[in-house]
């Protein structure tokens, strides 16, 4: 199959590496200097410096070339969420596309499938998501993903494109649930990072902080928030118990490679948000999507207290300790 990956960040590069042994892969980046550097170094030093680029992987900064290459096969949009709308508008008629970005669009509060419905209503489109760190996929470590679309043939095409001995890909007919899980888990990972960070800070000061019980509570109640919003937007409940829901939440909330978790850890240490983002050097989607997630939840009449606390903290109205105290001090009620 001919596949073009549109966007040479860490995740787009990792997927291109993973599939290049079986398919004709072309990786596109808009920056000609970045493509030239990748050709010279044989790796993506900015986003994925430890992974060698296979000789079979094509590189280009010519978008028209990339679109033509994947026109009859598969186009994989690997831009941040902010770039999805513009990229969808450039896709040729009759193309088939999956996007990798996770989140709600800033300003509109739309998910990827809703943006596609506005921009390219006749496009065969879907999402590829799940619990995955780019470094591990590029290194060939075992990973499981889900390819989701209301177009069953496209969902299966995503499986055919990326399923391998080390990368297991399941199909799904529920892009809404997959997208909500992928968007909201980043916000929950910040909350869990804050709790874990407060524990680490307390330990260095010889006092007791929140423990692993608090982490478990936040992950579990975070999953409940994800489910409530997903169901309100038309998702299937079982999707949030799968790879793109619980699986992605657990990985992002507890994994040391998680940028969103790292934001929470650094907030607990007392760093301000601009300093944290400068330190990370990469996008932490939860920071930008948290206010949009909360706005979408409120418009749908869905209660999301963890998300609300994260937004208050990111906007400087609560300290990390105050946010955790507010969550743990909520009135008792039936779990379901």
Tens of pLDDT, residues 53-104: 999 999 999 999 999 999 999 999 999 999 999 999 999 989 999 999 998 9
Q: Are 155 and 171 in contact (CB under 8 A)?
A: yes
Which residue ranges make up each domain of the chain? 2-173, 182-329
Helix (H) / strand (E) element for 55: namely none
Q: Model confidence over 152-200: pLDDT tens digits? A: 999 999 999 999 999 999 999 999 999 999 999 999 999 999 999 999 9
pLDDT at 335 over 90: no
Task: Give CA–CA dist 36/31, Å, rounded.
Answer: 9
Residue 224 annotated as part of some ligand binding site: no
Q: Which of 2, 185, 279, 333 is catalytic?
A: 185
Residue 134 annotated as part of some ligand binding site: yes
| pLDDT for residue 330 | 63
Question: Which pTM value belongs to this model?
Answer: 0.93
Residue 125 annotated as part of some ligand binding site: no
- The CATH number of the structural domain formed by 182-329 is 1.10.1040.10
3-state secondary structure of 25: strand
Task: Give CA–CA dist 176/156, Å, rounded.
Answer: 17
pLDDT band at 284; cut points 50, 70, 90? confident
| Bridge partners of residue 48, in order along the sequence | 44
Residue 82 annotated as part of some ligand binding site: no
Q: How far is CA 203 from CA 138, 196, 210, 217, in A?
A: 35, 11, 10, 20
Q: Are 239 and 230 in contact (CB under 8 A)?
A: yes
Residue 30 annotated as part of some ligand binding site: yes
pLDDT at 282 over 80: no
- Looking at residue 93, the DSSP 8-state letter turns out to be T
Give catalytic status of residue 279 as yes or no: no
Q: Which CATH superfamily is domain 2-173 in?
A: NAD(P)-binding Rossmann-like Domain (3.40.50.720)
């Amino acid at each position: 199959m001919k596949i073009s990956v549109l966007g040479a960040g860490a995740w787009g590069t990792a997927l291109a590496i993973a599939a290049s042994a079986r398919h004709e892969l072309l990786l596109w980046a808009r920056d000609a200097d970045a493509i030239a550097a990748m050709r010279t170094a044989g790796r993506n030093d900015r986003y994925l410096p430890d992974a060698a680029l296979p000789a079979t992987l094509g590189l280009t900064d010519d978008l028209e070339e990339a679109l033509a290459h994947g026109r009859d096969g598969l186009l994989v949009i690997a831009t941040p969420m902010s770039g999805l709308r513009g990229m969808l508008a450039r896709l040729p008629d009759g193309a088939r596309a999956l996007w990798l970005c996770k989140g709600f669009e800033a300003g509109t509060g739309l998910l990827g499938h809703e943006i596609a419905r506005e921009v390219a209503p006749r496009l065969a489109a879907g999402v590829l998501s799940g619990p995955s760190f780019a470094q591990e996929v590029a290194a060939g470590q075992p990973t499981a993903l889900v390819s989701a679309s209301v177009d069953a043939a496209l969902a299966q095409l995503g499986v055919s494109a990326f399923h391998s001995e080390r990368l297991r890909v399941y199909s799904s007919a529920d892009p809404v649930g997959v997208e909500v899980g992928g968007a909201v888990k980043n916000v929950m990972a910040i909350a869990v990072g804050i709790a874990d960070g407060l524990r680490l800070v307390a330990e260095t000061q010889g006092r007791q902080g929140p423990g692993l019980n608090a982490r478990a509570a936040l992950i579990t109640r975070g999953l409940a928030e994800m489910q409530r919003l997903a169901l309100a937007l038309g998702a299937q409940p079982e999707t949030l118990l799968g790879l793109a829901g619980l699986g992605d939440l657990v990985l992002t909330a507890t994994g040391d490679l998680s940028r969103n978790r790292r934001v929470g850890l650094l907030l607990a240490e007392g760093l301000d948000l601009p300093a944290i983002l400068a330190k990370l050097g990469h996008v932490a989607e939860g920071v930008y999507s948290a206010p949009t997630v909360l706005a979408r939840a409120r418009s749908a009449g869905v209660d999301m207290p963890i998300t609300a606390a994260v937004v208050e903290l990111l906007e400087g109205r609560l300290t990390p300790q105050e946010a955790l105290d507010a969550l743990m001090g909520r009135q008792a009620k039936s779990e379901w």
